[in-house]
Amino acid sequence: MTATPQGTTDTTLDPERVSLLEALAQQRYFFLHTVEGLTDDQARLTPTASELCLGGLVKHVALTERGWTDFVESGAMAGGEDADLEARANEFRLLPDETLEGVVALYREVAAHTDELVRTCDLGADHALPPAPWFTPGERRSARRVFVHILSELAHHTGHADIIRESIDGQRSMG
């Protein structure tokens, strides 16, 4: 489960795609570094004032990224105003029948699919966002903007993960 930064050596890609892939690889490295060497029980701990745990964060990031890549591919997006509240809460937990290794594997699978889309899709293609209180009515989002959003969300949750990991055993991702 060792995290390693994986940029791209594909010289056939344009600089924008290379930049997106490299930025995603760097953030994924830091994010997955926060869970290296943890047991499932440690990945379920909530040692801060929040209810967040590391295993749940990995699962949430994977499921959210998959939702956005579905949007890029089809314009459809699960969740929104009609989301099942219990399922949404469980997205942030490592449930008893789940393992850290399993959610990391899911995340790696989702990330590989995202990278393939970054390499191949029309970055300017856009879709209307579904109705939700957090989207402006009628707003559209391009694939490019979705990938920047995925990167932003990943960086945001990497910060959460770093604080949680430091609270568990003192390990810090960057220093």
CA-to-CA separations, 164 to 38, 47, 74, 110, in angstroms, rounded: 12, 7, 35, 23
Q: Mean of the pLDDT values across residues 11-15? A: 88
Q: Mean of the pLDDT values across residues 156-175? A: 90
Q: Quick check: 123 and 143 in contact, CB under 8 A?
A: yes
Does the pLDDT at position 175 exceed 90? no
Tell me the Cα Rg of the chain: 16
* Confidence grade of residue 4 (pLDDT, cut at 50, 70, 90): very low
Looking at per-residue pLDDT, the higher value among 5 and 115 belongs to 115
Q: What is the mean pLDDT of the chain?
A: 91
Q: What is the pLDDT of residue 81?
A: 56
Ramachandran bin of 75, using left for φ above 0, alpha for ψ from -120 to 50, beta for the remaining angles: left
Closest CA to 113 of 57, 62, 158: 62
What is the rounded distance in angstroms from the CA atom of residue 173 to the CA atom of residue 36?
A: 10
Does the pLDDT at position 3 exceed 60? no
For each of the domains in the chain, give its residue range(s) and CATH number, in order of start. Answer: 15-169 (1.20.120.450)
What is the rounded distance in angstroms from the CA atom of residue 6 to the CA atom of residue 25?
A: 5
* Confidence grade of residue 8 (pLDDT, cut at 50, 70, 90): low
Pairing, β 140-142 against β 126-128:
antiparallel
The set of residues, in sequence order, having a beta carbon less than 8 Å from that of 121 and lying 6+ positions away, is 72, 73, 143
Structure tokens at 141: 């989002």
Does the pLDDT at position 65 exceed 70? yes
Does the pLDDT at position 48 exceed 80? yes
Q: Mean of the pLDDT values across residues 20-29? A: 97
Closest CA to 111 of 28, 9, 36: 28
Structure tokens at 30: 């830091």
Q: What is the pLDDT of residue 131?
A: 87
Amino acid identity at 142: S
